[in-house]
Structure 1
Amino acid sequence: MTPSIRRQLIVALLATIAVAVLAAAYGSYRLARAEVDSVFDYHLKQIALSLRDHAPQSAAQLPAVDDQLDFVIQVFTRDGSRLYASHQHASLPGPAQPGFSTVDTDDGRWRIYAIQLADQIVQVAQPTRLRKEAAAAAALRTVIPFLALLPVLGALIWWTVGIGLAQLDRIAREVKSRSATELEPLNLDGVPVEAQPLIVALNDLLKRHRVSLDAQRAFIADAAHEMRTPLTALQLQATLIERAGNDADRIIAVADLKRGLIRASHVVQQLLTLAREEPDGDASQAMTRIDLVGLARMAVADHQVLAESRGIDLGLEKSVASAPANGDAAALRTLIANLVENAIRYTPGPGRVDIGVAIEDGQPLLTVTDSGPGIPEDERERVFNRFYRRAESAEPGSGLGLAIVKVIADRHDAKVELGDSLLGGLQVSVRFPPI
């Protein structure tokens, strides 16, 4: 069952009040008991002292005592013989020490005051049970009004808590009334201080969702625009195959169609990779400790055939023995592959592409250097945009390679930098945070 904030608050407050009332009752009882003890001790002493002036010589000279009196008066001789007892209490002891004392008997505890009068000892006793009852009655009279008010307090708390929670109900109605595309932040005016962190967090979530939704819309629009050209080309090439008048023209048209299919497949693969590596995509692999040197060696092996086919000398330049970093191995392999493919594709043969791994200031550094034409400084920021391709480039491509690199680097808190290489072309550096 889902817990109710209102019910929890009411139960907690009423329980706290009840505990406070019980504690007050106990405190009242202790104070009342001390006061009752003081008053009754005074009465015991006054009764005993009242007999001093009479100086009774025998039990007959003692005043008559009402049987309903709570006090028991006893008179003893010096040798301990009892001359008189106002009530018959066989359990009461003989003469006690002068002054106040408390004794335990078969009838319970008794408070006794004893005094020596001439040749006699007079003691007045009272059961402590009467004192406890009097103190409990006084404490109960103090607590009963509070206990009677508990239902009223419960109703007042219910009403007060309801007023406080009305703001949350208003916010809930406001959120419920919005459409799926209405992502404006909620108004904080009139929101209680306690609820403001929730609204701030919700507004932050709405903001991030709006940014993600805008990015998805832009991505879908860009992808549709980018796919329009290769699909149109494929349709045209299929039409040329149908209209081919001889086998030679048909073979050429089929070859063009295959190249178009390869390019379209590459674009789709790049789009899927980019969508997967987006912050809100499907990339959910846990970060583990990996070695960038090992990934660099794998990239050289994976692209060696492509590099040789284009006359490119691809290799791993002298680097550290190991460069550990925290990351997603599959994603970082994709990052290095995109950098190497771009370098091979845009470097004229014969040319050179080097992969380097180093440690600088405690940070792992991956570099891909080529001897190609490079990228002008005024375009280096734009090349990370999706589907951006330089106008001077004659190489077919989707314009997503470096965009994918940037997304993966951001996910790993790495920084991507473009600069001039010592080989005369471009150097891409990816600086990872230290472990």
Structure 2
Amino acid sequence: MKSIRSHLLTLQASALLITALVVSLMTFRLAWNGFNNVRDLGLEQIAATVLRHDTSLDGEPFAASGSAPQGQPDEDEDHFVSQIWTRDGQLLFSSLPQVGPPLQSVGHHIVTWQGQSWRVFAVDEDDRVVQVAVTTAIRRQHFYDLVRWLTLPLLLLVLLLGFFIRQAISDALRPLDELRNEVGQRGGRQLHSIPTEGLPTEVVPLTRTLNDLLDRLDVLMNAQKRFIADAAHELNTPLAAIRLQAQLLRRLPASERETAMDELDQGIARACRMVQQLLELARLDPEVRGHHMVPLSLEALACEAVSAFQGMAGHQDIALALDMPQAPSDIIIQGDAHALRTLLDNLIENALRYAGPGARVEVSLRGEDGHAVMRVADSGPGIPPEQRQRALERFVRLDEQRARSVHGSGLGLSIAQSVVTAHRGELLLGQSRWGGLEVCIRLPLDAQEAAPAMPDSGPCAT
């Protein structure tokens, strides 16, 4: 698991160490150049001092007394060596016997003498040349002694910055920790929004998105609770009736059992129908089952659905018809074939159940203004305008007595509404031209795709 805190600490620590290294190298280089400049200035000052005080020499060559053997420099060679030469190269004076490089030209030089590197400065006046020299080894030793003291503040600065960076990252991420604790301590019933006051600007969008999710979860959980309560209530009635009818069946004489068994079968059919629709409604919920959208022909789907209900319509003496354009109109949409077929089945079955014997039911399909417009109309009793919106709710049966006689469950239109919403469409209830109910559905057409071939579903009634 990748940690933001660890990632930030790694990046900040790496940046700090790289910066400290670069600054150390630059400081070392600048300090070394400055140190050399100061020491070279010291050589110049020593040479000037020797010139001002050189009044005792008579021009005789310098004779070294008590000098160290050749190749074994005196232990004082680590100090400055000052020399006085004539212009023709005769050594008149040396502060350390047998120590010091040979005469150089005027100016600063780095020369090698007896295996050692020397920093040399020479200046002339009148007929004499004053030369001051020091080994670079002693100069580096002095510089390194100084560098140790320069390094301590830098190390202290790195440690302090590292501590402050760690504290700053912890403080910056504290709102995320508080948000995690806030969400982690909540239960299934605590889905209210998280306050955004006082939160950093970067955390507010995340909190708002989380609040939106909590709101949706609250709506879904409340809807699920209502659905379970309504389903339990609706199932309780037919199951109680079945139980009572089964108890009465045992007590009835043989001559009356046939009628009682018919009533028991009707109760079982109603319960099975309700359970089937409950399962279908659960399957169509987009939060449970994602819809598989593909290009499909709504004409072929409608033809299949109408053909499937021709037998039920004939048994009830109902004229079921399909009205479509004579020429192929390519009414193609992006949709889920199973969900749309469930939509058509529920609308046609509802129309057949509630229209009554001798009625008319018509399914029509047209393409209008970039939409597929499908209507399922019947000549039944219809729904009053003031009750049409309520008819789309679950378990709502406007005519309880008629609903019981046709085994209605109040879920057909609710299932249709769920499918239409998932397809970004619109469902409207109105009055048919025969005075019954007309369900009008508008779905967006898919003009860029071609419809796949649909299997032959047999003849359609027109």
Q: If the length of structure 1 is used for normalisation, what is the TM-score?
A: 0.75
Q: 1:52 to 1:301 in 2, by over 3 A?
A: farther
- For 1:263, the equivalent position in structure 2 comes to 270
Is the Cα–Cα contact under 8 Å of residues 29 and 135 in structure 1 kept in the other structure? Answer: no
SS of the residue 1:416 aligns to = strand
Alignment partner for residue 402 of structure 1, among 395, 400, 413?
413
- Of stretches 116-125 and 378-387 in structure 1, the one that deviates more from structure 2 is 116-125
Is the Cα–Cα contact under 8 Å of residues 363 and 375 in structure 2 kept in the other structure? Answer: yes
Percent of aligned pairs with the same residue? 31
- Of stretches 289-298 and 229-238 in structure 1, the one that deviates more from structure 2 is 289-298
In the alignment, the residues of structure 1 paired with residue 116 and residue 351 of structure 2 have an alpha-carbon distance, to the nearest angstrom, of 103
In the alignment, the residues of structure 1 paired with residue 332 and residue 190 of structure 2 have an alpha-carbon distance, to the nearest angstrom, of 47
- For 2:39, the equivalent position in structure 1 comes to 40
Is the Cα–Cα contact under 8 Å of residues 314 and 354 in structure 1 kept in the other structure? Answer: yes
- For 1:323, the equivalent position in structure 2 comes to 332
Is the Cα–Cα contact under 8 Å of residues 59 and 75 in structure 1 kept in the other structure? Answer: no
Is the Cα–Cα contact under 8 Å of residues 366 and 431 in structure 1 kept in the other structure? Answer: yes
- For 2:425, the equivalent position in structure 1 comes to 414
- For 1:383, the equivalent position in structure 2 comes to 391
Structure 1 residues 307-353: Cα deviation after superposition (integer angstroms, max 9, x where no partner): 4444333325126225131x433223222322332334344545242
SS of the residue 1:399 aligns to = coil
What amino acid does structure 1 have at the position aligned with 2:350?
N
Is the Cα–Cα contact under 8 Å of residues 307 and 313 in structure 1 kept in the other structure? Answer: yes
- For 1:217, the equivalent position in structure 2 comes to 225
- For 1:204, the equivalent position in structure 2 comes to 212
Q: Alpha-carbon deviation of 1:252?
A: 2.7
Is the Cα–Cα contact under 8 Å of residues 344 and 353 in structure 1 kept in the other structure? Answer: no
SS of the residue 2:190 aligns to = coil
Alignment of 1:252 with 2:259, yes or no, is yes
In the alignment, the residues of structure 2 paired with residue 412 and residue 131 of structure 1 have an alpha-carbon distance, to the nearest angstrom, of 86
SS of the residue 1:60 aligns to = coil
Q: Alpha-carbon deviation of 1:209?
A: 2.2
Alignment partner for residue 430 of structure 1, among 442, 453, 461?
442
Structure 1 residues 360-417: Cα deviation after superposition (integer angstroms, max 9, x where no partner): 33xx424133243444332232221001223285643111111112222323333323
Alignment of 1:369 with 2:376, yes or no, is yes
Is the Cα–Cα contact under 8 Å of residues 25 and 142 in structure 1 kept in the other structure? Answer: no
Structure 1: 5+ residue stretches without partners: none
Q: Alpha-carbon deviation of 1:297?
A: 3.6
Q: Alpha-carbon deviation of 1:212?
A: 1.6
SS of the residue 1:388 aligns to = coil
SS of the residue 2:62 aligns to = helix
What amino acid does structure 1 have at the position aligned with 2:272?
S
Q: 1:183 to 1:100 in 2, by over 3 A?
A: same
Alignment partner for residue 68 of structure 1, among 71, 78, 86?
78
Is the Cα–Cα contact under 8 Å of residues 77 and 120 in structure 1 kept in the other structure? Answer: yes
- Of stretches 399-408 and 232-241 in structure 1, the one that deviates more from structure 2 is 232-241
Please, what is the CA RMSD of the aligned residues?
A: 4.6
What amino acid does structure 2 have at the position aligned with 1:306?
M
Q: Alpha-carbon deviation of 1:262?
A: 1.9
Q: 1:257 to 1:133 in 2, by over 3 A?
A: farther
Q: Alpha-carbon deviation of 1:424?
A: 6.0
Q: 1:416 to 1:108 in 2, by over 3 A?
A: farther
Alignment partner for residue 356 of structure 1, among 356, 361, 365?
365
Q: 1:49 to 1:230 in 2, by over 3 A?
A: same
- For 2:28, the equivalent position in structure 1 comes to 29
Is the Cα–Cα contact under 8 Å of residues 100 and 133 in structure 2 kept in the other structure? Answer: no
Q: Alpha-carbon deviation of 1:219?
A: 0.5
What amino acid does structure 1 have at the position aligned with 2:276?
Q
In the alignment, the residues of structure 1 paired with residue 351 and residue 138 of structure 2 have an alpha-carbon distance, to the nearest angstrom, of 103
SS of the residue 2:399 aligns to = coil
What amino acid does structure 2 have at the position aligned with 1:246?
A
Task: Give the number of aligned pairs.
Answer: 423
Alignment partner for residue 188 of structure 2, among 180, 196, 201?
180
- For 2:451, the equivalent position in structure 1 comes to none
In the alignment, the residues of structure 2 paired with residue 180 and residue 104 of structure 1 have an alpha-carbon distance, to the nearest angstrom, of 86
Is the Cα–Cα contact under 8 Å of residues 77 and 83 in structure 1 kept in the other structure? Answer: no
In the alignment, the residues of structure 2 paired with residue 105 and residue 350 of structure 1 have an alpha-carbon distance, to the nearest angstrom, of 126
In the alignment, the residues of structure 2 paired with residue 108 and residue 306 of structure 1 have an alpha-carbon distance, to the nearest angstrom, of 117
Alignment partner for residue 295 of structure 1, among 298, 301, 305?
301
- Of stretches 297-306 and 66-75 in structure 1, the one that deviates more from structure 2 is 66-75
SS of the residue 2:227 aligns to = helix
Q: Alpha-carbon deviation of 1:227?
A: 1.4
Q: Alpha-carbon deviation of 1:144?
A: 0.9
Q: Alpha-carbon deviation of 1:263?
A: 1.9
